[in-house]
Amino acid sequence: MKSFVKKFHNENGITLIEVMATIVISSIILVVVYNVFMMGIKTYEKVGIEMQLRDEADHIVSSILQTLYETPIDSVEDCGNNCLKISQDQSFVVDQDFPSLIREETADKSLKEEHKVTLSANSVELLSTVGEADPIARNLLTNDYSLIFEQNSEGEEIASRINLLQCINEDGEPGCERGLIEVVLELQHNNFTEDQVISVKPIKLESKFGF
């Protein structure tokens, strides 16, 4: 009985070494859990941003393609650095003397259509002019994104660019009646560049289409 009472009244506590060991072990566990948690958040955000970059690049290319497909193209020509002009300035009319003949002639001003696509660091501008109406400009690139431009030793664009790879012109007039257009977009998110805590590599999208 006395031994039981003695054990019951034992006032020995936890030593300082035990307390410190407990704190150190708890701190290590908390640091590991925190790092795993933050790594998961960063991975989730990176995957989301990469998907946004892909969607943005697809949107730009599909808008350019839509303009090409909706415009009866008579000619395409360079209009400067990373700039292409798409024109529809011809029309088909029935010959009055020989109704069975259809000839091509320069269209009236009210029927002419012109689109210019220009790439720059902060914009993909689509400038459209239909007839005698005022030009309408659209920036296909949203504010959170920008294009990367690089040049080789010969001054040629090796990153984002838009140009003519092939040009066929049978009537000797300026521009290309048929050809192949190349669009290369190297797109980055302005809030997730290499100097940020969470960085996402730029995405590169290449597309070629004929007309």
Alpha-carbon distance 49 to 134, whole Å? 37
Are 198 and 47 in contact, with CB atoms under 8 Å apart?
A: no
Residue-wise pLDDT tens digits, 144-194? 899 988 765 566 556 899 988 888 887 777 788 888 999 999 988 888 777
Q: Which residue has the higher pLDDT, 108 or 203?
A: 203
DSSP letter for 203, please. Answer: E
Confidence of residue 126 (pLDDT cuts 50, 70, 90): very high
Taking the domains of the chain in order of start, what are their residue ranges?
9-210
Residue-wise pLDDT tens digits, 38-73? 777 777 777 888 888 888 888 888 888 888 788 777
- Between the alpha carbon of residue 131 and those of residues 7, 41, 84, 108, 139, the distances in Å are 102, 52, 19, 8, 21
Strand, helix or coil at 120?
A: strand
The answer on pLDDT for 114 being more than 80 is yes
Instruction: Count Cβ neighbours within 10 Å for each residue of 124-157 and write b for 16 or more, e otherwise.
Output: bbbbbbbeeeeeeeeebbeeebbbebeeeeeeeb
The answer on pLDDT for 14 being more than 80 is no
Highest mean pLDDT among 9-13, 16-20, 154-158: 16-20
Residue 35 half-sphere exposure toward CB, CA atoms < 13 A: 6
pLDDT at 100: 61
Alpha-carbon distance 127 to 122, whole Å? 15
Q: Which of 11-20, 54-63, 132-141, 145-154 has the least mean pLDDT?
A: 11-20
Residue-wise pLDDT tens digits, 82-109? 999 988 776 555 556 666 655 555 656 6
In angstroms, how far is the first alpha carbon of the chain from the final one?
A: 103
- pTM as predicted: 0.69
pLDDT at 95: 57
Are 56 and 147 in contact, with CB atoms under 8 Å apart?
A: no
What's the CA dihedral at 165, 166, 171, 174 to 10 degrees?
Answer: 10
Alpha-carbon distance 160 to 119, whole Å? 8
Which of 15, 35, 149, 146 minimizes the C-alpha distance to 81?
149
Alpha-carbon distance 21 to 28, whole Å? 11
